[in-house]
A = this chain, B = another copy of it.
Amino acid sequence: MHIHFHDSLDHEKLPVQPAEWDAAAKRAGKLGEGHVVTFSTDFDSVRDEVEVIIAPPYRLQQINMHSAPKLKLIQSTYAGMDSLYPFDIIPRTAMLLNNRGVHGKRAGEYCAMAILMLTNKMPLFATQQRQKHWQRAIGSLANRQRITIVGLGAIGTGAAHWARQLGMHITGIRHGNTPHPDCDATFSMDKLDEVLPTTDILLLACPLTPLTTNLLSRERIALLPSGAGVINVGRGKLVEQEALCDALDAGRLGGAVLDVFAVEPIPPTDRIWTTINMVITPHMSADDPLAYNADTLDIFFENLAAYLAGKTPPTLVDLTKGY
């Protein structure tokens, strides 16, 4: 097949390199043989022949895929599909694939850190450090805390793994309410309001879709018990950010550890920089450059194998759900 990597090889976001493709194709065995492979941002020169495009979403937005008559598979090198909504750039005759699963292990360790930072009152101590203020406060064993994880994809599953190791009581919220091996209970999204009042730590790891935008609204923040903590490793717009800052500044919530924000980079004048008991990381929780491209390409070959066998590719994006 003609497989086109639509990216600039020297871009700072570490696009797939030819040597990484060669290694992945070798791992894939016969499935990796006999392809025409191109690497460029010159789409016009390949559009008549290209059958597979592999690229990050912001690159996909720059080309007219409707003009590629043989295009069958579009493999995103990101998992989050929110920037492609409402998917009008995706030809109806092609399948959109993402690389969900690739972030699980790294993001799981970030979530373990964030959970332990909340049980150890680290957001409070970070605030006190900024104020040069020494005051002891007491942490808690994680096993005395109840965590609610919204979204049980690769990242939520990684978080649940560590919450289980820490002996926490774990409630999962997911599309449908199918059981999860590391959750004590799972509920569908419409039960969220009933779960929040008994949630010590709320962890958001779900995709951003029209249905999940502002999921953690001002009203829902008010349902959390006093002193509760919030972790967001999904997307910034899952949270009504002003309301979260208000609840932290008022001392009603105990702390927050956020990796994603309504606007990134955070503007210098944003109140979020100085909100008390707030810990910020710059959207890095799932980054793992040593494994990321290799894992993404392995996922692509699993998708390709399924496609060629007439089966559903494992990471096919359901455009009606948005992930």
Contact = CB atoms under 8 A, between A and B. Distances in A.
Contacts of A89: none
B284 A139 contact: yes
A134 B284 contact: no
Interface SS majority for chain A: loop
Contacts of A125: 279-282
A68 interface: no
A110 B139 contact: yes
A246 interface: no
Interface residues of A, number: 48
Which of A119, A120, A268 has the largest count of B CB atoms less than 10 A from its CB? A120
A131 to B, nearest CB: 9
Nearest to A291: B141
B283 A136 contact: yes
B281 A122 contact: yes
Interface string A141-177: 1101000000000000000000001100000000000
B282 A128 contact: yes
Contacts of A135: 282
B287 A134 contact: no
Interface string A270-293: 000110000111111101111100
A308 interface: no
Interface string A86-121: 000000000000000000011001101100110111
B128 A120 contact: no
Contacts of A274: 132
B112 A112 contact: yes
A138 interface: yes
Given A109-B120, A109-B142, A132-B273, A284 B137 contact: yes
A233 to B, nearest CB: 12
A309 to B, nearest CB: 32
Contact of A126 (B126, B134, B287): B126
Interface of A: 105-106, 109-110, 112-113, 116-117, 119-122, 125-126, 128-130, 132, 134-142, 144, 165-166, 264-266, 268, 273-274, 279-285, 287-291
